[in-house]
Amino acid sequence: MSLLQLTDAQKRDILTHLEHNKPLPEEYRFQLFDNKNQVELVRNGKTNAVSTVALPFQTIELVDEPRQEDTTQIQTGLFDMRGRQQSWWTNKLIRWDNKLILSSLLYGPMRDEIKKAWWLKLIYIDPPFDVGADFSMKIELWDDEYTKSPSILEEIAYRDTWGKGADSFISMIYERLKLMKDLLADDGSIYVHCDWRVNSHIRLILDEVFGKDNFRNEITWYYANSGLKAKSKKFHQVTDTIYWYNKSNTYIWNELRKKRKDWQVKWPKLKYNSKTWKAEMVRDENWKPVYIIKDDVLEHSMREVWLLWVSSEKLWYPTQKPEWLLEKIIEASTNPWDLVADFFCGSWTTLAVAEKLGRKWIGSDLGKFGIHTTRKRMVAVQRELLASGQDYRAFEILNLGQYERSFFVSKHLEGKEHDAFSAQLDQQKIYLYTELVTSAYKASGLAGYSYLHARKDNAVVSIGPIDFPVDHAHIMQAVSESLKWWFTQLHVLWFEFAMGATTAVEQAKAQGISLHLKYIPRDVFDKRVIADDAVKFFDVAYIEAQATKVGHNTISVSLTDFAVYYTQDNLEQSIAKIKPEKEGIIMDNGSIYKITKDAQGAIIEKINLTKTRTDWIDYWAVDFDYTSKKEIVRHAGENGQEIGTTGRYVFENERQSFKTKKNKDLELTTASHTYEGNGLKTVAIKVVDIFGNDNMTTIQVKL
């Protein structure tokens, strides 16, 4: 109904409500606005608008196990062809908010690469549907465990998703599903995993986004041996729901059958008799019945109820799903070489199964610990495939880099997103950015200096520029200015430090300056984090490595030292939470301790669990020729897609050692590496600690 179709009485009624600032009666919502949906999910703040922000992606790491020994190859595009890849595509693991990732994939230059791969054939997501979920991680330390809380950004993401009830979750998932639909191929599928908390909402949202005619199945995953509580006032909940929708009526469908080598079924071959209207057996020339021999059967998973013993696989991650589950989904709805995506990947299952089944993949996650867990698992999958003589693809780790930071500065300062975004910030925004970091660091501003921007207690503070890494020269300029004005303590803050930057610490010490390099967390751009007074700046870890010449133009690299300086937030509260006659784990000044209390709650034992440097290390890797591969960025220019360099380099993950659940030992010396030519080589060493924080240093090798 349009406004012209309303009666005069209805028009007067509407005007009366508006004049008295009263809400319109519910009936007018359907009379004033045309709505094709006969049934829809209504929520506060409902809008059809979705993000159109398109930020360039930056490749920060390439993992190809093992990489070809040709270290002289220069990258000519974002997707390189090293290793045992079977096509031009390099798999992608992306960290940050998946709304920005989805809109950047859809509207940014990577859209062309996805289009060339025939779009996404399958999306599987398992969003955070648990209102009271505990997203902390259990980190194993020998015979003990440390409970790692989510980062403040993760906590806020979960809090904002659920803090306003179902409305906030529905708004979050609706916008992302709209973006995902546009990335799907016309014959693509989406599977959405949920449980009783949100399955009714999810079904209505999917009907609205994909259309109820494109609904295919409501799959019930039944936990066959899930534990039952002794007492309950209701039937035990032992199922999850997976909704399967398609983008159109034309979709990929592979019937799953299982071969039985030691089992056959003989089915009589039948024909229809048009005279008797009955089926009759087909007979051969000797009048013997003809049989059809079958040695395969439809799998049970072709039904809507999937039975699974939850202990059939060792799960590494709190929300991890078993590989069996993803195998059925990927095999049923994709073909080899197809592109699969999981934008709430959490750990690794979707990506690992896709790799094993010969599919290409894209994965994203908000948490750096989830990204690190995925990196370890995918390297392990590469090794498994290599050992069995199967092919695999390299994968790259991406983020939105300096463009992400510039975007959040603009959003923080102006309070809105920009459809057309420029990474260039004017002087006013740079000044406000410096003020923002100064405030988050709880420092006071300084004026009249070139490299010194603030003061905190007895130290002066230098804040690095937003658009490129702080290098050794920048740090030494800040050191020189500190010496000039008789300051003896200097803190340098930035998001990432260029190669060789950490060598300035010892040089500054020789000149009488106590220098501390600290990372600015991404949290600094979120007003909610600042309001909670929860921004934490961490010291750059200390890494020491050395190269040993073992032959002509051949070296090995050893990790000789690693130290961190972490202290747990609210340490006293953490200790207080440990109950009498119980044990607990706390973190203080770069060490993790196991605390034991007596019956009165007093501490009777405090054991340091991180006695050696290797206790802190979860993963380390080496790039033997770090400066051979320039980091590039693709962005939309006046003449279409344009490629430029950032002035940094991609870390090529050539040799690595990491801990697993079965093996906690680390190899601290690499296998030998031979260079093709002479000269000065830059070797980069990356160390990832048990919390997923990565640090890097470089050493120079002269051949």
C-alpha distances in angstroms, 475 versus 60, 79, 435, 461, 513? 22, 34, 20, 11, 12
Q: Are residues 119 and 215 in the same domain?
A: yes
Band of residue 548 on the pLDDT scale cut at 50, 70, 90: very high
Q: Report whether 668 contacts 559 (CB < 8 A).
A: yes
Q: What confidence score (pLDDT) does residue 392 get?
A: 87
Cβ atoms within 10 Å of 114's Cβ, excluding its own:
20
630 Cβ contact partners less than 8 Å away, ≥ 6 residues apart: 75, 645, 646, 648, 649, 650
Q: Are residues 383 and 456 in the same domain?
A: no
Q: Are residues 393 and 379 in the same domain?
A: yes
Q: What confidence score (pLDDT) does residue 563 get?
A: 83
Q: What confidence score (pLDDT) does residue 279 get?
A: 78
Q: Are residues 445 and 553 in the same domain?
A: no
Of the residues 297, 320, 353, the one at which a domain ends? 297
Nearest residue to 553 via CA among 625, 628, 656: 625
DSSP per residue over 150-176, as a string?
Answer: PPHHHHHHHHHHHTTTHHHHHHHHHHH
Peptide bond into 469 cis (omega under 30): no
Q: What confidence score (pLDDT) does residue 210 get?
A: 96
CATH number, domain with residue 501: 3.40.1350
652 assigned to some structural domain:
no
d(C-alpha 502, C-alpha 499), whole Å: 8
Query: What's the number of domains the chain is made of?
Result: 5
Gyration radius of the chain's alpha carbons:
29
Of the residues 539, 571, 599, the one at which a domain ends? 539
649 assigned to some structural domain:
no
CATH number, domain with residue 357: 3.40.50.150
Band of residue 428 on the pLDDT scale cut at 50, 70, 90: low
Q: Are residues 171 and 304 in the same domain?
A: yes
Three-class secondary structure of residue 340 per DSSP:
strand
Give the position of tokens 């990474």: 423
d(C-alpha 532, C-alpha 527), whole Å: 9
Nearest residue to 391 via CA among 340, 356, 433, 367: 356
d(C-alpha 501, C-alpha 697), whole Å: 8
DSSP per residue over 427-491, as a string?
Answer: HHHHHHHHHHHHHHTT-EE--S-SS--EEETTEEEEE--TTS-B-HHHHHHHHHHHHHTT--EEE
Q: Are residues 554 and 514 in the same domain?
A: no
Q: What confidence score (pLDDT) does residue 71 get?
A: 37
> pLDDT higher for 281 or 357?
357
pTM score, two decimals?
A: 0.76
Nearest residue to 404 via CA among 542, 521, 242, 250: 521
658 assigned to some structural domain:
no
Q: Are residues 535 and 547 in the same domain?
A: no
Q: Report whether 190 contacts 245 (CB < 8 A).
A: yes
Buried b (16+ CB within 10 A) or exposed e, 495-530: bbbbbbbbebbeebeeeebebbbbbbbbbbbbeebb
DSSP per residue over 182-235, as a string?
Answer: HHEEEEEEEEEEE-TTTHHHHHHHHHHHH-GGGEEEEEEEEETT----S--SS-
Q: Could you report the per-residue pLDDT of 138-190, keeping only the tens digit for each? A: 555 555 555 555 554 445 444 545 445 567 778 888 999 999 999 999 999 99
Query: 49 pLDDT exceeds 80?
Result: no
d(C-alpha 81, C-alpha 413), whole Å: 41
Q: Which of 244-248, 406-410, 441-445 has the lowest mean pLDDT?
A: 406-410
Q: Are residues 559 and 531 in the same domain?
A: no
Three-class secondary structure of residue 667 per DSSP:
coil
Band of residue 686 on the pLDDT scale cut at 50, 70, 90: very high
Query: 10 pLDDT exceeds 60?
Result: yes
d(C-alpha 555, C-alpha 625), whole Å: 12
Q: Report whether 68 contacts 82 (CB < 8 A).
A: yes
209: amino acid identity, one letter: V
Q: Are residues 242 and 191 in the same domain?
A: yes
Q: Are residues 361 and 273 in the same domain?
A: no
Q: Give the domain range for residue 174.
A: 58-256+299-402
Q: Could you report the per-residue pLDDT of 461-518, keeping only the tens digit for each? A: 999 877 666 778 889 999 999 999 999 999 999 877 766 677 788 889 999 999 988 8
Q: What confidence score (pLDDT) does residue 454 get?
A: 94
- Residues in a beta bridge with 259: 296
DSSP 149: P
The 3-state secondary structure of 598-624, one letter per residue = CCCCCEEEEEECCCCHHHHEEEEEEEC
- Residues in a beta bridge with 612: none
Q: Are residues 199 and 108 in the same domain?
A: yes
Of the residues 514, 539, 564, the one at which a domain ends? 539
Q: Report whether 189 contacts 252 (CB < 8 A).
A: yes
63 assigned to some structural domain:
yes
Give the position of tokens 């923080």: 412
> pLDDT higher for 342 or 224?
342
Nearest residue to 346 via CA among 657, 140, 98, 528: 98
Q: What confidence score (pLDDT) does residue 361 get?
A: 96
110 assigned to some structural domain:
yes
Q: Could you report the per-residue pLDDT of 561-617, keeping only the tens digit for each? A: 888 877 665 667 778 878 888 887 777 777 888 889 999 888 988 888 887 878 888
Band of residue 69 on the pLDDT scale cut at 50, 70, 90: very low
49 assigned to some structural domain:
no
Q: Are residues 156 and 172 in the same domain?
A: yes
117 assigned to some structural domain:
yes
Bridge-based pairing state of the strands 339-342 and 360-365:
parallel
Three-class secondary structure of residue 293 per DSSP:
strand
354 assigned to some structural domain:
yes
